[in-house]
Structures are given as C-alpha cells and as structure tokens.
Amino acid sequence: MTNRPVEMSDVALMPRCSGAERGAALPLVTVDDLSIYFQSRRGTVHAVDGASFEIGVGQTVGLVGETGCGKSVTARSFLGLVPSPPAVHAGGRIVFRPRQECPSCHASDCQGGGQAEYDLTKLTPREFRKVRGEQIAMIFQDPSLALNPVLTIGQQVAEVFHQHRAEMMLADAGLSTDDPLLRRAASDRSSRLERAVLAAPGLRRRRNRLQKVVDEYVAQALAETRIANPRKIMNSYPHELSGGMKQRVMIAQALACAPDLLIADEPTTALDVTIQAHILDLIHELQERHHTAVLYISHDLSLVRDVCDQVVVMYAGQVVEQGPTTRLFDNPLHPYARGLLGAVPSGGQPRGGLSAIEGMVPELVNPSSQCRFHTRCAHASAVCAAHTPTLTAHDPPDHRAACFLYEHAETLGLPAEDMPSRNRSAS
Ligand SMILES: Nc1ncnc2c1ncn2[C@@H]1O[C@H](COP(=O)(O)OP(=O)(O)O)[C@@H](O)[C@H]1O
Ligand code: SF4
Ligand SMILES: [Mg+2]
C-alpha cells in the first residue's frame, strides 16, 4: 500500500526505463481501506467497509461474492458512478496509475514510461469524464439498460471518440484546428470544435470528410468485436439487436480507446451459455491485444477460475480473502471462500450456484465489531462474535485472508480458549 497522499494535480512521473523490466506486474489500481456507506432511514449501510486489494497492469482479477456483498459499489466507485447522496465516501483511497508511453522504446507496458498516480475518490465529475472510456471503462450485466434506445449504435459508439479522440479525428480528416472557418463554426465556446464542424450548416465538404473519419473509427471499433457487417449495425437501433450483439457493442464502446482497465460487472449473466463463451473469448482476445487489465465481477466461481490471475473474495462489504487464482482454488483459507468453492459444481453440471452455504448475507446497517461471517461459520467462536479479523498475509505473502483461524491468541492479546479451532468441521 502506498502511504503518500495522491491527487489528480499531483501527477508524479517516475522515469525508470529498462526494457528488461517490461512485463513486470506493476500495480495499476490499489484499493486501500476503501469505505463507502449509504445513509438510509434505518441507519448507515456499510456497503463497502475497509476494502483493500490490488490490480496489476494487464492482470485479470475476479471480484467474487454473493449478491449484496459490495462488489458493484466497489467497482462503480472507480468511475464515480455511485450516487452521492445517498452514498458517502467514508474513507480510504483508490490509487490509479494509468500507463504512460515510454519515451525510449514507445511501449506503454515499459516501466520507463513512468506512471501518473491519482486518487480516484478525489476526482471531480469533470476529471472523471476524462478518465471514463479513455483510461477505465465498464461493461454491465444488461446491455439493454446501458444503451440509449433512441440513438443508433453508430451514434453511441462515436460518442466515445468525440469525448477522447476529437483532435485525432480532425487531423485524420486533414482539418486544422487553426482553420478560421472551423473556428468561426465553433464560436460557441461550450461546443467542441470537432462537434461544431459536424453540426455546422456550411462547411459541407469539411463536414463530410470528418463524418467519413468518424464512421471509419466506429466501424473499426465494431469490427474488433467480430460483429459481422459493422456498417449496417452502425445504423441499427439497440432494439434491433440480440442480447449477444448488444454486449459486443458495449465491449466495442468500452475498448474503443484501449483503456488501462476494463470493469466487467457480471458481463455474461444475462446471456445464454454459448454466447457467454464467445463474449468471454472476445474480452480475453481484446485484453491481450490492448494489454488491458480486467476486473471481472461475478458470482460464478467456475468462470473466475478459467479467466482470472487473481481472485478477491468479498463478504458483507469486506474483502475476506485475496490470492493468486490457482493458490486460492487449491488452498482456500477463509471458511466463506471454502464454502463458495464447495458450491462450484464439477464437470457437466450448471455453473456457479452458491446454495452450499446456509444462511444469508447479514444486514449491513450499523454493523458492530465482529466477523460478519460468524453467524454462518462452522468454526465461529467467542472471539469471532466480538472482534473484526483483519486481512493478513499468509504463506505465500500474496495470499491474504481475514480470519481468526490463522491468528495467534497471544499476538492479538485475546484469550486462547475463545479462539476458533481448525478441527471443527468446515462450513
Ligand atoms: N443506492 C443505494 N442505496 C442504499 N443502499 C445501497 C445502494 N446501492 C447499493 N446499496 C447496498 O449496498 C450493498 C452492496 O450492494 P452491491 O455492491 O450492489 O452488491 P453486489 O454487487 O455484491 O451484489 C447492498 O447491501 C445494497 O443494498
Ligand atoms: S473462524 Fe471466525 S473469523 Fe474465521 S470466518 Fe469463521 S467466524 Fe469469521
Ligand atoms: Mg452487483
């Protein structure tokens, strides 16, 4: 965890070029003790409570847990998409380090490019608009809700380029930002030059040239997602497309500017099984091509095992375990993670049911100091009902869990007889 306070204005470039260092797992996002609460009539909902985890550059990280555990609120806070009020940022940081191109080798995955750093919890709405789509993008469970029904697919994908690639498109159309005619068209200072050209009643030739470039950008973004006949799809409306096609459009939109991080919140839950596999393959292929990190939010452990490098397990607003996927699946530490894995069906059965863990996620209103899993845990003891376990590194140190089973009474200064025992049957 970094201890230095960081802000958007505090961009620190740290040149340390070495081609040999390329590919090392640099941290891209460090979620550090993040808390997001909601004020409600019943009290304060601790939706995310002291969550800490990391996502490395180009890594695929699975964020798993039952419904209501705080996965979506955590991920949406990366993009300033948690409505405030009622949400309150109650503490912690999300340190984001977008990649910079290395001046020596021009690769964006070389450490020589340095990394800017800023705390996403401190960005203004205006600053978020720059980050969204360009550096961090998100795809949602239900693309029908994310796409605007009254705009064509082309208009919606073009929006990302209008936001982030305006100057590049003007240059590709052979238009100069110094052209006095263009400047006059954009006399309304609030409109962007490139948008103003497209809307101007005169300037027909310039407008046509620019529109051709915009269409080219959009068609290419759609083609990347292997959509057949992208030029035709551009003129369609969302209701004319299948669920799988709409999800491809969202992926095209999300990856149009090759962001550093793609957040995929249950991206395949609304799709049938064969389409799910195609969409996952597609995300993986585009991720490799653009060296994009992916945060997969899912309750489907089988999916996470197949596609993720790291797994973060959330329970009742807290991270209870994080580790490399193979390690966590081979040797889950937290009884909740064990319960989830016990619920992963093997060969030929449907994926991802969580019914093996009895009971429900507790209410997150004004929680007291205790392990939030204690009402469902077969190992629970007096200590678990009275103290909150902290996320602690185990062997190997990148495997961390928050559970008193792995703590020593004397280190914590607690009575040994009140500690949980590993000998009891697992939940
Ligand atoms: N706008 C809101 N107002 C009040 N509580 C909310 C709001 N959004 C989410 N929550 C609460 O935050 C908790 C975490 O929700 P969420 O992150 O959506 O869970 P998950 O994605 O893991 O299913 C839940 O208890 C949910 O009820
Ligand atoms: S043993 Fe105690 S601390 Fe560990 S999960 Fe069970 S209740 Fe929580
Ligand atoms: Mg969710």
Q: CB under 8 Å, gap of 24 or more: what pairs does 216-220 form?
A: 216/172, 217/158, 217/161, 217/165, 217/169, 217/256, 218/154, 218/157, 218/158, 218/161
The whole-angstrom separation of Cα 67 and Cα 18 is 44
Where exactly are the structural domains of the chain?
A: 26-135+259-345+356-361+388-398
User: Is pLDDT at 326 greater than 50 in this prediction?
Assistant: yes
Burial of 253 (0-12, 13-18, 19+ CB in 10 A): buried
Query: Of ligand 2's atoms, which has the minimum distance to the CA of residue 404?
Result: 3
Ligand 2 pocket check for 403: Cβ under 6 Å: yes
Question: For a pocket test of ligand 2, which of 403, 418, 419 has the largest count of ligand atoms closer than 8 A to its C-beta?
Answer: 403
Rg (CA), the chain: 24
What are the Cα distances from residue 387, in Å, to 45, 84, 191, 409? Answer: 19, 30, 56, 12
- At 15 the pLDDT is 38
Tell me the pLDDT tens digit for each residue of 328-368.
Answer: 999 999 999 999 988 665 554 444 444 468 888 888 898 88
CATH architecture of the domain covering 26-135+259-345+356-361+388-398: 3-Layer(aba) Sandwich (3.40)
Considering every ligand atom, which ligand is closest to the CA of 264? 3
Alpha carbon nearest to ligand 1 atom 3, residue? 38
DSSP-derived pairing of the beta strands 293-298 and 399-401: unpaired
- At 274 the pLDDT is 80
Q: What is the DSSP letter of 389?
A: P
Residues around ligand 3, an ion, CB closer than 5 A: 72
Tell me the pLDDT tens digit for each residue of 164-203.
Answer: 998 899 899 888 877 777 777 766 555 577 777 777 777 7
Ligand 2 pocket check for 257: Cβ under 6 Å: no
User: Residue 71 C-alpha to ligand 3 middle, in angstroms?
Assistant: 6
pTM, whole model, 2 decimals?
A: 0.86
| 106 confidence band (pLDDT: 50, 70, 90) | low
User: Residue 47 C-alpha to ligand 1 middle, in angstroms?
Assistant: 6
User: Residue 196 C-alpha to ligand 2 middle, in angstroms?
Assistant: 60
User: Is pLDDT at 54 greater than 80 in this prediction?
Assistant: yes
Alpha carbon nearest to ligand 1 atom 26, residue? 68
Query: Of ligand 2's atoms, which has the minimum distance to the CA of residue 381?
Result: 2
User: Is pLDDT at 37 greater than 50 in this prediction?
Assistant: yes
DSSP-derived pairing of the beta strands 60-64 and 310-315: parallel
